[in-house]
Structure 1
Amino acid sequence: MIPPIARRFVAGETAGDAMDHARDLDAAGVGTIFNRLGEHYEAREPADADAEAYCELLSTIGDTDLDACVSVKPSQLGFDVDPAVFRENLTRVVGAAADHDGFVWIDMEDHTTTDATIDAFESQVRRYHGVGLCLQANLKRTPADLARLADLPGKVRLVKGAYDEPPDAAYTDKARIDEAFRDLLVGAFEQFDGGVALGSHDPEMIELARDLHREYGTDYEVQMLMGVREDAQRALAADGVAVYQYAPYGTRWLSYFYRRVMERKENALFALRAIISG
């Protein structure tokens, strides 16, 4: 059972828990991006099991009127076992999305997997347009990747990047990453007809996206994590912005919860207060 202290950041252990959370968000006008927690599997069995769980969840979503989708990691679908396993499981998940008019986001992991992840996205989005890909602003290669994908259907999600990357592959200075993020956001609004997702809690970047939407007319959405600036999520939705909450669920919640607590001072303070108050 997930303790109350972790429920701020994790939607529950089961798909049913996650669907209940999505219904609460829907009442506030916020959509849901489900992620079943798990990554870097060293055996095929858990990767296949997670792929099947995503297929079942997409079927469940398809039977509702909820604005919800799923987001998968390459290593969760078996990339570390064999890239072919990842491609096979991704094909299964995207096939389920196509059967139920759903949407699948493909998360980006560290820079060593970027080429294979982009190749997989290209293959999938050509057969079903309800697929999106995450690109990371800290990687120096990303402007070229964005240009490569501009003529394809599907969506792109821009994030600043959270992986510890070598300096030859990525920017490490926060100001330089912010600059790269702004440049990519402008480029995405200029080039992507399918839509742009802004994966950020940064008010400055969100306001820039709103300005770019007014200038270019490109559809966009703001994606934020469960437990982070949830008041802003609801306020933006009430103001007419398409907002989606990245809501993880599953039994492998402990390491995810630890990362969320350690990455922001206010999250650590929240955890400390919860422990003290019992």
Structure 2
Amino acid sequence: MIPPIANNFVAGESSEGALEYAADLNDRGISAILNLLGEHYHERSPAFEDTEEYCYLTAEIDDRNLDASISVKPSQVGLDVGTDVFAENVELIVDHAIDHDVFVWVDMEDHTTTDATLDAVVENADRDGADVGVAIQANLKRTGDDLQRLARSDATVRLVKGAYDEPASVAHADKSRVNEAYEEHLDYLFSEFEHVSVGSHDPQMISLARDLHDECGTPYEIQMLMGVRDDAQVDLAEDGVRVVQYVPYGGKWAQYFYRRVMERKENLLFAARAILS
């Protein structure tokens, strides 16, 4: 059973619980991205089982008429088994998503997975009827080049700062430089893409996104994690901003929960407030 504090960050252990939570979010004017927790599978069987779950989710989202999408991790659907397994499973998920008109996000993991992830995203995003996006991390030095590649495709980008502890050879180590890179990349997205997904809880970045939208008119949305700045999410939605909440669920909740709480001081404060409330 998930303890009460973790319930603030994880929508239960079952798909039914996650789907019901998504419906409640919709009632508050907020969209959902459903993510079945799991990663770094080294055998085909668990990777395919999670692939099937995502296919099931696309059908349920459609049947229940939810404002929701799905998000998969590359190592969850076979990348650690082989790039061919990963490609097959992503293609299968996108097949079902096309049938049910559901958006598919692909999360980004550490820098060693970037090329394979982008290859799969670009290939599937350019398929007829597909809606596919990818998380891109501003802390990586290569991100400017990756955004130029994605701008030539039909993929959507969710820009995040990046949560992985990457080596200095490939990533900006200084927090202020990461923020500068995020602002630079956000400006590029608003000028070169048809839609921008701003993956940030940072009020400064959210304010910048609003300003850039006012300047160029590019549609955008703010994506935040379940359990982080929930009140701000509601306020933004009530103010007419499209808000999308990343909603993880499943039996493998413990690793996700402790990672989120420990990776940033801000999340420790959110967790502490949840305990006291």
TM-score w.r.t. length of structure 1? 0.95
| Aligned 1:75-86 pairs, distance under 5 A | 75-86=75-86
Measure, in 2, the Cα distance between the counterparts of 1:79 and 1:43: 10
CA displacement 1:10-62 (0-9 Å, x = unmatched)? 00100100011111111110000000000011111111000000000110001
Matched with 1:231 is: 231
Inter-CA distance 272–153: structure 2 relative to 1 (3 Å threshold): closer
Is the CA contact 2:196–2:220 (under 8 Å) kept in the aligned structure 1? yes
Matched with 1:2 is: 2
Matched with 1:88 is: 88
| Aligned 1:105-184 pairs, distance under 5 A | 105-127=105-127, 128-184=129-185
SS in 2 for 1:7: helix
Measure, in 1, the Cα distance between the counterparts of 2:9 and 2:158: 21
Is the CA contact 1:42–1:81 (under 8 Å) kept in the aligned structure 2? yes
Write the letter of the residue equivalent to 1:205.
M
Inter-CA distance 81–187: structure 2 relative to 1 (3 Å threshold): same
SS in 2 for 1:4: coil
SS in 1 for 2:126: helix
Measure, in 2, the Cα distance between the counterparts of 1:29 and 1:191: 28
Unaligned runs of 5+ in 1: none
Is the CA contact 1:136–1:161 (under 8 Å) kept in the aligned structure 2? yes
Measure, in 2, the Cα distance between the counterparts of 1:220 and 1:276: 34
SS in 1 for 2:8: coil
Is the CA contact 2:122–2:154 (under 8 Å) kept in the aligned structure 1? no
Q: How many pairs are equivalent?
A: 276
Is the CA contact 2:122–2:155 (under 8 Å) kept in the aligned structure 1? no
Measure, in 1, the Cα distance between the counterparts of 2:150 and 2:19: 32
Measure, in 2, the Cα distance between the counterparts of 1:231 and 1:275: 16
| Backbone CA RMSD of aligned residues | 1.6
Q: CA deviation at 1:63?
A: 0.8
SS in 1 for 2:222: strand
CA displacement 1:184-230 (0-9 Å, x = unmatched)? 0000010012x110000000100111111111111111000000000
Q: CA deviation at 1:158?
A: 0.3
SS in 2 for 1:34: strand
Measure, in 1, the Cα distance between the counterparts of 2:184 and 2:36: 32
Is the CA contact 2:8–2:274 (under 8 Å) kept in the aligned structure 1? no
Matched with 2:100 is: 100
1:32 equivalent to 2:32? Answer yes
Matched with 1:258 is: 258
Is the CA contact 2:163–2:263 (under 8 Å) kept in the aligned structure 1? no
Measure, in 2, the Cα distance between the counterparts of 1:198 and 1:82: 31
1:56 equivalent to 2:56? Answer yes
Is the CA contact 2:43–2:81 (under 8 Å) kept in the aligned structure 1? yes
Write the letter of the residue equivalent to 1:180.
A
Is the CA contact 1:151–1:192 (under 8 Å) kept in the aligned structure 2? no
SS in 1 for 2:184: helix
CA displacement 1:158-198 (0-9 Å, x = unmatched)? 000111111110101000000000000000010012x1100
Matched with 2:187 is: 186
TM-score w.r.t. length of structure 2? 0.96
Write the letter of the residue equivalent to 1:157.
R
Q: CA deviation at 1:271?
A: 5.0
Unaligned runs of 5+ in 2: none
Write the letter of the residue equivalent to 1:46.
P
Is the CA contact 1:129–1:154 (under 8 Å) kept in the aligned structure 2? no
Matched with 1:43 is: 43
Measure, in 2, the Cα distance between the counterparts of 1:112 and 1:270: 31
